[in-house]
């Protein structure tokens, strides 16, 4: 894959997520990807309908935004390793690629990007519409 193709892939992954807030981590926003929700978004856009967020947590946490430290974490296996396999091999190179790609599309302006910390404690998450979070 070319760098441009990877950039489109990353933006597509980011934009296909819905956002959640965790009761134990109020300063963090979690970005979940759910294939059923992605299909629902496409169908709603085709039919010019409002996109409604799912009521239950489904999918995989691809990104985590730490609001306090202005840091974006990304899933190691599904994002980071994919970029290593298809384009980049150095930690700093991947970090800069993610940062520049998301900043270029004005999705984020962050000082740093790291691999994700995964939480699987089974607690309920609150759903927030990412379009309302600045």
3-state per-residue secondary structure call for 113-134: EEECCCCCCCCCEEEECHHHCC
Q: Check residue 13 and give left, alpha or beta (phi > 0: left; psi -120 to 50: alpha).
A: alpha
pTM for the full predicted model: 0.72
Question: Tell me: the pLDDT tens digits for 66-86?
Answer: 888 778 888 888 888 888 888
DSSP-derived secondary structure for 50-93: PPPPPSS--SEEEEEEETTTTEEEE-IIIIIHHHHHHT--SHHH
Distance between CA atoms of residues 53 and 94, nearest Å: 31
pLDDT above 60: residue 124: no
Highest mean pLDDT among 9-13, 31-35, 71-75, 107-111: 9-13
Domain parsing of the chain, residue ranges? 3-132
Mean pLDDT of 61-69: 85
């Amino acid at each position: 894959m070319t760098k441009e193709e990877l950039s489109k892939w990353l933006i597509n992954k980011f934009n296909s997520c819905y956002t959640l807030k965790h009761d134990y981590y109020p300063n963090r926003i979690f970005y979940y990807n759910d294939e059923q929700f992605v299909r629902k978004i496409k169908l709603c856009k085709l039919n010019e309908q409002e996109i409604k967020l799912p009521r239950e947590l489904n999918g995989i946490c691809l990104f985590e935004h730490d609001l306090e430290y202005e840091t974006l974490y990304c899933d190691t296996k599904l994002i980071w390793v994919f970029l290593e396999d298809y384009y980049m091999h150095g930690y700093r190179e991947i970090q800069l690629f993610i940062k520049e790609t998301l900043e270029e599309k004005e999705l984020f302006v962050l000082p740093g990007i790291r691999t994700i910390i995964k939480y699987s404690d089974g607690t309920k998450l609150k759903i927030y519409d990412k379009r309302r979070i600045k």
